[in-house]
Structure 1
Amino acid sequence: MPAVTTSVPPTRPIPGSYGFPVLGPLKDRLDYFWFQGPEKFFRNRMSTYKSTVFRVNMPPTFPFFTGVDPHVVAVLDCTSFATLFDSAIVDKRDVLVGDYMPSLSFTGGTRVVVYQDTSEEAHGRIKSFCLDLLRRSARVWVDEFLGSLGIMLSTIEGDLSKGATSSNFLVPLQKCVFTFLTKSIVGADPSTDEAIKETGFALLDSWLALQLLPVTNIGFLQPLEEIFLHSFPYPFLLVSGPYKKLYNFVEKQGKEVLERATSEYGMTKDEAINNILFVLGFNAFGGFSLFFPSLITTIGRENNGLRENIRDEVRRVLKGTNGELGFEAVKQMELVKSTVYEILRLHPPVPLQYGRARNDFVLTSHDATFQVSKGELLCGYQPLAMRDPTVFKDPESFVPTRFMGDQGREQLNYVYWSNGPQTSSPSPENKQCAAKDYVVWTACLFLAELFRKYDDFECDESSTAITKLEKATS
């Protein structure tokens, strides 16, 4: 690993500018969504200012909507980015997607835990409830995931066996994720509810999309994307029907979970359902729906022997467990784990992190310090922070073995995909993803089951499609 300096760097003013009112934010918005794209947007400014810390405007910039301040201080190296996880320095109140916050109507009028700061009393109670949900779900998590994954793989295998040149896995994947999450976390079976069983995943998709469209780069035909997707917040009314179906589903089938929320954690039933739906939809379903496609396509497009090496490791470990596959088995799969960490480093499910300065403080990067004022909003772009050349050797390359061995495991301190370092643990006192470890082990389970059942698979170079799936011969 490249050396990380421990000396105190010099102090300098934060470079960059917000430009003229209206025009400055509009220019940055067009660069971000249209002319450059998110990564080039940050890289160009990092090069111009010769700094990983600078001032810039971040979407949304609604021309007819007041109250959203686009001004941020970008933090793009591992040292400055880590500030976003220090609750003594930053406040996470209502900054999940920047200064913009979707209407509370999207969450039934409840300000859910993800929008709360650690200093708020309700945060600790609700985060404890979320951790309890996951702890109890561990009893069925593996079986439910493998069962749903089996249906997904059978669907893809069926498509290819009928002569199709490829099988798009996105819809089967989302059905798999939705089914196993609702069964594991809520104890609710989608197959027993006519309003949910076939389209539950699509209901969540539409609910998530309307909240995030103003801050999401779609790659749609410009300038239509700018005019219709990024110029105003969408009203909840458009997805009130789908949300009501999901609400009723949890209310009807999640009685045991809701009873625990009200009796042990002091939540109202309405507050519990809205928080469960947000955790289920945004954190879990949304996160897996973004990460698993990166996992599948990255490995499925590799031609350097990675798949063969993973297959051999999986089968060697399972031979030692008499074929029993679970979290304990995948913890023994060093290459599988390292590959998952590397894909999380390169393709974090949530690319942007925000935090607001609680007080004036000195922000430190690798090569300078900067004075930040109370109330300023910090914005970290993870795909660049986790490609920091000061920390990671050959940071732009996909290196599946990067996190193997003692030195590799040390670098996990700089893998921040979960709203905190991979080496720390979620708790009621922090904002780290409650399911951090579950995501890693579930991704490992995915690969282990895939290479237990199949000798090889390949993916299309330009889409979310599997083009080859070879059944195991031994």
Structure 2
Amino acid sequence: MFRTTMASSLSFNAGGLPVLPLPGSYGPPLLGPLKDRLDYFWFQGSETFFRQRAATYKSTVFRTNMPPTFPFLTKKIDPRVIAVVDCAAFPALFDLSLVEKRDVLIGDFMPSTDFTGGMRVMVYMDPSEQKHNAGKAFCLDLLKRRARIWVSEFLLSTDVMLTTIEKELSGSDTRCAGLLVPLQKCIFSFLCKSLAGADPATCPEIADCGFAMLDKWLSLQILPTTSIGVLQPLEEIFLHSFAYPFALVKGNYQKLYDFLEKEGGEVIGMATSEYSLTKEGAIHNLLFILGFNAFGGFSVFLPTLITTLGRDTTGLQGRLRAEVRRVLARGRQLGFDTVKEMELVQSTVHEVLRMNPPVFLQYGRARKDFLLSSHEASFQVRTGELLCGYQKLAMRDPKVFDDPETFNPDRYMGEKGRRLLDYLYWSNGPQTATPSTANKQCAAKDYVVFTACLLVAEIVRRYDDFRCDGSSLSVTKLEKAAASAVPGPS
């Protein structure tokens, strides 16, 4: 697997693995980072970028540059990282005794704090920072308290979305209805009500355009680090060469802020009275959680989930439909308890998360010198070096997952399948771990999986068949499987 020319200089760690020099190169100054940036964004794309380097260096841990380099910015951004693309080395990114998470949410680049009211919000903080613990504790408690309305609010919003799509289908000769806008409106309304206790319906502008305001605010922060597939070299010149100013979304952000301040009083009061957050800090953190973590994540993941089911030709839809209707027989309702009985639904959601995690890059900066171990070797990491884990390859590690490039909805079923959840790293930690103030795992990890299960279950409960091509939904046989009333929480 590794070059035999290194053998004479090998040492071994406590686990018996050879300690090898880190393969890879950053290339010459300026030209090396520029080449890697163009490969990542233009010539190869992110997945091929990591695959080819892992193959070239014959290692799942290697040195490379990560974009952006921002040649027109005065602030120096260091693109050099140690890439990690296997399940063995990946957990180091979650070990806070080895790495810190201060200001590395999207790598060495951090958007201006103007986007968050001039303050560093909790998700950019390391758990060693006192303000992080207060913010994370608030999030965990908020989710616990709002759990009682989570199911009913999601199903109500989903019913509005599907009814909107059905009306569009009823007047369409092509039997095809747009999916993305109704879905984003559904996600936005649901999250505002379930997390912030703020109903967008109280403000017509927020109800109609709030999701777009949030989407634009989020997009301007991550555009320099994201490929959107527009014509090159226009994307490189106009999207990846400089950071966009907050002024472009300042007015919309203020409207969202005012909306939460007015309608989310109960939640904001909880943050200030019980967790010592300032009113401004509570609103800015809540907006970031709502927009960046929740809305952003769901807006990527749920369309992928729907498309995966809508394009299926293996009979998965029928199997899911049979499971859901069996569990919901005799008038039982969708909720936490009934979803627990839907093993295939849960396994399907987990497999979509494995194949297409909503966030596919994880970062951590070394707190100290340590040995980073892959399956076959260990590598010396020095204090201050930035680790970059690419989840889309790590979650396809052939030493952990059988036939890893194939979508297998049964993968996580049974005792053997459930053990694989230890290696499902989509949420800044293993699926089997518990979010706490002492780690950076997504506070709503289990709510994301549960919500996705609710969506799958509601679609197959409601329709006998559906097809989706990614941007639109077509129903080839629109027959309600049950009464159209939206079920409440169980």
TM-score by length of 2: 0.94
CA distance in 1, matches of 2:364, 2:166: 45
Match of 1:235 among 245, 250, 254: 245
Matched, 1:171 2:181: yes
User: Aligned AA for 2:245?
Assistant: P
- Paired residues for 1:68-467 under 5 Å: 68-162=77-171, 163-319=173-329, 322-460=331-469, 463-467=470-474
Amino acid of the residue matched to residue 243 of structure 1? Answer: Y
Contact 2:462 2:481 in 1 (8 A): no
Residue equivalent to 1:3: none
1:446-466 CA deviation, whole Å, 9 max, x = no partner?
A: 011111111111112xx4211
Shift of 1:473: 4.9
Encode CA deviations 1:174-198: one digit per residue, 9 max, x unaligned.
Answer: 0000001000111101011133110
In structure 2, the CA distance between the partners of 1:26 and 1:171, relative to structure 1 (3 Å rule), is same
User: Are 1:42 and 2:27 counterparts?
Assistant: no
Please give the alpha-carbon distance, in whole angstroms, between the structure 2 residues aligned to 1:156 and 1:451: 15
Q: Across the two proteins, how many residue pairs are aligned to each other?
A: 466
Give the partner amino acid of 1:68. I
Distance (whole Å) between structure 1 residues aligned to residue 471 and residue 15 of structure 2:
46
Paired residues of 1:80 and 1:364 also in contact (CA < 8 A): yes
- Rounded Cα–Cα distance in structure 1 between residues aligned with 2:479 and 2:231: 40
Aligned mates of 2:178, 2:360 — CA distance in 1: 24
- Measured in 2, the distance between the counterparts of 1:471 and 1:128 equals 45
Secondary structure of the 2:224 match is helix
Task: Tell me which amino acid in the other structure corresponds to 1:123.
Answer: H
Query: Which residue in the other structure is 2:65 paired with?
Result: 57
Matched position secondary structure for 1:457? strand
2:388 is paired with a residue whose SS is: strand
Q: CA deviation at 1:165?
A: 3.4
Secondary structure of 1:199's aligned partner: helix
1:21 & 1:303 partners in 2: Cα distance? Answer: 49
Which secondary structure does the structure 1 equivalent of 2:83 belong to? strand
CA distance in 2, matches of 1:416, 1:427: 16
Letter of the structure 1 residue corresponding to residue 149 of structure 2:
V
Mapped partners of 1:25, 1:196: distance in 2: 42
Post-superposition offset of 1:323: 2.6
1:158 is displaced (CA, Å) by 1.6
Decide whether the 8 Å contact of 1:344 with 1:417 is kept in 2. yes
Equivalent AA in structure 2 for residue 81 of structure 1: F
Conservation of the 8 A alpha-carbon contact between 1:335 and 1:400: yes
Structure 2 CA distance for partners of 1:473 and 1:104, relative to 1, 3 Å = closer
Q: Separation in 2 of the partners of 1:8 and 1:349? A: 35
Aligned amino acid, residue 71 of structure 2: P
Q: Distance in 2 between matches of 1:424 and 1:374?
A: 26
CA deviations over 1:16-55 (Å, ceiling 9, x no partner) = 1111111110100000000000000000000000000000
The answer (yes or no) to whether the contact 2:461–2:481 under 8 Å persists in 1 is no
Q: Distance in 1 between matches of 2:274 and 2:174?
A: 52
Alignment partners' CA distance in 2, 1:72 and 1:174? 34
Amino acid at match of 1:118: P
Q: Tell me the distance in 2 between the aligned counterparts of 1:87 and 1:261.
A: 26
Alignment match, 2:7? none
**Whole-angstrom distance in 2 between the partners of 1:143 and 1:390:** 41
Gaps of 5+ in 1: 1-5
Q: Residues of 2 paired with 1:73 and 1:216: CA distance?
A: 19
The worse-fitting range, judged by mean Cα deviation, of 197-206 and 58-67 is: 58-67
* Superposed displacement of residue 398, structure 1: 0.3
Letter in 2 for 1:397: T
Contact 1:195 1:245 in 2 (8 A): no
SS of alignment partner, residue 257 of structure 2: helix
**Structure 1 residue 168: Cα displacement:** 2.0
Distance, in Å, in 2 between the alignment partners of 1:242 and 1:144 is 25
TM-fit CA distance, 1:297: 0.4
